[in-house]
Amino acid sequence: MKRFVIALILCVCVTVRVMADMPQQPANANFYTNPQPTYVDYSSCIKDYQMTAEELFYRTLSAISSSNYKIIEIQSKSSRVLFSVFGREFWASVTKQNSAASTLRILPSDNSFYFQKTLIDRIFNEIDTYKTEKIIRVDK
């Protein structure tokens, strides 16, 4: 009986030691690598801005790029950008309302609105954060 208790205590100590040496992952680590899709309402994919369509188009390109999303296609004449994130493709489309206002629509290319809303919220937040910054033309 004494040997059994000593062996049990030894196994518990070894197990605790091995688990203590394992690298710890944050509780939400899977959130960034494999987002769980949910239904996203169409109206939450559209946002109005008080800036010109050209300025919003440049800010959208910048936000997509800074979010580390892969830009697949840029249609500058129609102000559309095709980009992909987590294997899903999205269209970002800028439309002019008037000379000082425009609308940004970020919609999935396959019209399936089951995706993680934070994927498009990241772009909207990036534009909102830097909308007061002046856009500077960089010459080559």
> Can you give the CATH number for the domain in which 99 is found?
3.30.310.80
Residue 7 inside a domain? The answer is no
Q: Identify the pLDDT of residue 10.
A: 52
Query: Is 31 a member of any domain?
Result: no
What integer pLDDT is reported at residue 133 of this predicted model? 80
- Domain extent, residue 103, equals 36-129
| Assigned domain for 116 exists | yes
Asked whether residue 137 is assigned to any structural domain, the reply reads: no
- DSSP-based three-state secondary structure for 91: strand
Domain membership flag for residue 63: yes
Q: What is the side-by-side strand order in the sheet with 80-85?
A: 46-49, 101-108, 88-98, 80-85, 70-75
Q: Which helix (H) or strand (E) holds 22?
A: none
Output the pLDDT for position 2. Answer: 59
Helix (H) / strand (E) element for 47: namely strand 46-49
Does the residue 93 lie in any domain? yes
In angstroms, rounded to a whole number, what is the distance separating the alpha carbons of residues 41 and 88?
Answer: 17
pLDDT averages per 10-residue partition of the chain, 140 residues? 55 47 44 69 95 94 93 93 93 94 95 91 92 78
pLDDT at 138: 79
The total of structural domains in the chain comes to 1
